Amino acid sequence: MMKKLIKYGLILLGIGSILLVFAISKGGMRTVWFDGMLPKIVNNKKVITKNKQVSNFSNIQINVKDINVKVIAGKEYAVKYIGKKEIQPKVNVTKGVLKITSTKTETSAVSVSVGFDFGRNQKNNELIITVPRNKTLTNVQIVAQGDSIKLQETKIESLLLQSEDADINISNAKIAVNQKIKTEDGDISVKHTSIVAGTIASGDGDATISDATLTDVKLKNQDGDIDISKAELNSSSSRSADGDMTFKKVKITNGYQATTEDGDITVSGMQAAGYKTRSTDGDNRLYTKKSSTGRLLKLNSEQDNIFTATTEDGDIHIR
């Protein structure tokens, strides 16, 4: 057994020595990544800025990896890429559809130094799509695996945003129909924006909604928190497994249902016609009413515009 361990240790030491010599011969402390079994040097200085001239478009289809995506309003149609030349995406416009796809992706890199640093460098790669301010896009579909997806000052009839790790930021936008806004591990932020229909979902990240209007929208979080402030919620709902929910100065229209299993629900300054609240194992406070036995608390519950809050193990506090 000891001989095998020594043997494997010597093999690993040999591989490490080869990588060290390889890195030094290519300019010292540099980043090495593997293309299959072949080690290659990543030239971090080889960052390009590419402005792509594009014709008018009404639809956007993006599917990229290791690249941050930003859609903004400006004077004219434009596509700009800033990042590593090796992973520059393919861009074309066909019949009014802007299509951007990755042709090559960054692999996990290993920095040969005192230790080993595993990770990617998506922050260095950014794709910026500019749309005229008065333009309403018909359909936008973005599937991106980078650090962030941003929509700023855009008007969209139909939207789909999807990522595994990226943070999603939407500000000063108007979305007529939302198919899905989803990230697995990233946070979601919606500010000064109106969204109709669909879902806004995050696995482990937090969702923050502020100065926004949501109509027929379902907020879903697995482990993250939901924070809503200065917003108007129309026929919408929120659900979380382990996260907390906070509502500050929120106006409810046509009812709202907030449900969490292990999280707390805290409400202050809300405008609603009535309330129904229940906590199975936690404390339940509805203004001056209190319960810690799982009893349903009601206030003007005969009204149509009711805010309903339910939690299993968390506390509810409405004031």
Q: What is the DSSP string of 165-211?
A: S-EEEEES-EEEEEEEEEESSS-EEEES-EEESSEEEESSS-EEEES
pTM of the model: 0.81
Quote the distance between the C-alpha of residue 11 and its chain's center: 42
State the CB neighbour count (10 A cutoff) for residue 192.
Answer: 15
Which residues of the chain are under the pLDDT cut of 50?
A: 108-122
Domain assignments of the chain as residue spans, ordered by start? 2-40, 44-156, 187-319
CATH class, domain 44-156, is mainly beta
Per-residue confidence (pLDDT) for residue 151, from 0 to 100: 97
117-161: pLDDT as tens digits? 444 444 579 999 999 999 999 999 999 998 999 999 999 999 999
Give the position of tokens 């903004």: 72
- Predicted pLDDT of residue 42: 54
pLDDT at res. 21: 60
pLDDT tens-digit profile of 218-242?
999 998 999 999 999 999 999 999 8
Quote the CA–CA distance of 7 and 142 in Å, as a whole number. Answer: 49
- Distances from the Cα of 242 to the Cα of 149, 247, 259, 309, angstroms: 25, 17, 10, 15
Q: Is 85 helix (H, G, I), strand (E, B) or coil?
A: helix
**Pairing mode, strands 207-210 and 188-191:** parallel
